[in-house]
Amino acid sequence: MEIIHVSAECYPVAKAGGLGDVVGALPKYQNKLGSIAKVVMPMYRTKFLMENEWVVDFKGYAYGGGRDFEYTVIKERYNTLGYDLYLIDINGLLDREKIYGYDDDTERFVAFQVAVVDWLSHWQHRPDVIHCHDHHTALIPFIIQHCYAYSFMANVPTVVTIHNAQYQGWMGWYQSYYIPAWDSWKSGLLDWNKNINPLACGIKCAAKVTTVSWSYLEELKVSANGLENLFNYEKGKCVGILNGIDNDVWDPVTDNYIASNFSVKQIKEGKRANKQVLCDQFNFDVHKPLVVFIGRLVGEKAADILPDSIMASIYTMQGNVSFLILGSGDPHVEWQLQSMSNHFPGYYNAVIGYNEKLSHQMYAGADFLLMPSRVEPCGLNQMYAMRYGTVPVVRSTGGLKDTVIDIGDPGGYGIRFNHASVTDITYSIGRAVDAYANQKNLNKMRKRMMQVDNR
Residue type, 344: F
Stretch that binds ligand ADP, among 179-187, 220-228, 337-345, 375-383 (CB under 6 A): 375-383
Q: How many Cβ atoms from other residues are within 10 Å of residue 96's Cβ?
A: 18
Q: How many Cβ atoms from other residues are within 10 Å of residue 452's Cβ?
A: 15
Is 118 an interacting residue with respect to ligand ADP (CB under 6 A)? no
User: How far apart are alpha carbons 87 and 69 in whole angstroms?
Assistant: 16
Is 248 an interacting residue with respect to ligand ADP (CB under 6 A)? no
Query: Which residue lies nearer to ligand ADP by CB, 52 or 328?
Result: 328
H/E element, 5:
strand 2-6
How many residues bind ligand ADP, per CB under 6 A? 18
List 129, 238, 317, 380, residue binding ligand ADP (CB under 6 A): 380
Q: Using CB under 6 A as the criterion, what x/- string covers residues 267-296 for binding ligand ADP? A: ---------------------------xxx
Stretch that binds ligand ADP, among 95-103, 277-285, 313-321, 350-358 (CB under 6 A): 350-358
CB 20 to ligand ADP: min, Å: 7
Q: Of 358, 398, 407, nearest to 374 (Cα)?
A: 398
Is 361 an interacting residue with respect to ligand ADP (CB under 6 A)? no
Q: Give the DSSP letter of residue 356.
A: H
Query: Which residue lies nearer to ligand ADP by CB, 177 or 257?
Result: 257
List 54, 170, 354, 427, residue binding ligand ADP (CB under 6 A): 354
Query: Which residue lies nearer to ligand ADP by CB, 198 or 295?
Result: 295
Is 326 an interacting residue with respect to ligand ADP (CB under 6 A)? yes
Is 9 an interacting residue with respect to ligand ADP (CB under 6 A)? no
CB 81 to ligand ADP: min, Å: 16
Between strands 84-90 and 67-76, the pairing is antiparallel
CB 246 to ligand ADP: min, Å: 10
Paired residues of 39 in beta bridges: 5, 85
User: How far apart are alpha carbons 108 and 175 in whole angstroms?
Assistant: 12
Query: Which residue lies nearer to ligand ADP by CB, 19 or 321?
Result: 19
CA dist list (Å): 43 to 8, 27, 40, 65, 258: 9, 19, 9, 19, 30
Is 393 an interacting residue with respect to ligand ADP (CB under 6 A)? no
**Maximum pairwise Cα distance, the chain:** 69
**Which residues, other chains included, contact 434 with Cβ-Cβ below 8 Å and sequence gap of 6+?**
none
List 12, 17, 244, 412, residue binding ligand ADP (CB under 6 A): 17
Q: Of 404, 88, 82, nearest to 249 (Cα)?
A: 82
CA dist list (Å): 215 to 236, 242, 441: 16, 9, 30
Residue type, 62: A
Is 355 an interacting residue with respect to ligand ADP (CB under 6 A)? yes
**Cα–Cα–Cα angle for 391, 422, 368, nearest 5°?**
10
List 359, 390, 397, 403, residue binding ligand ADP (CB under 6 A): 359
Cβ-closest residue to ligand ADP? 18
Is 252 an interacting residue with respect to ligand ADP (CB under 6 A)? no
CA dist list (Å): 170 to 52, 100, 354, 399: 35, 14, 27, 25
CB 302 to ligand ADP: min, Å: 12
Is 51 strand, coil or helix? helix
Is 240 an interacting residue with respect to ligand ADP (CB under 6 A)? no
Is 18 an interacting residue with respect to ligand ADP (CB under 6 A)? yes
Q: Using CB under 6 A as the criterion, what x/- string covers residues 295-314 for binding ligand ADP? A: xx------------------
Is 328 an interacting residue with respect to ligand ADP (CB under 6 A)? yes
Q: What are phi and psi of 56, to 5 degrees?
A: -75, 125
Interface positions with ligand ADP (CB under 6 A)? 17-19, 21, 294-296, 326-328, 354-356, 359, 378-381
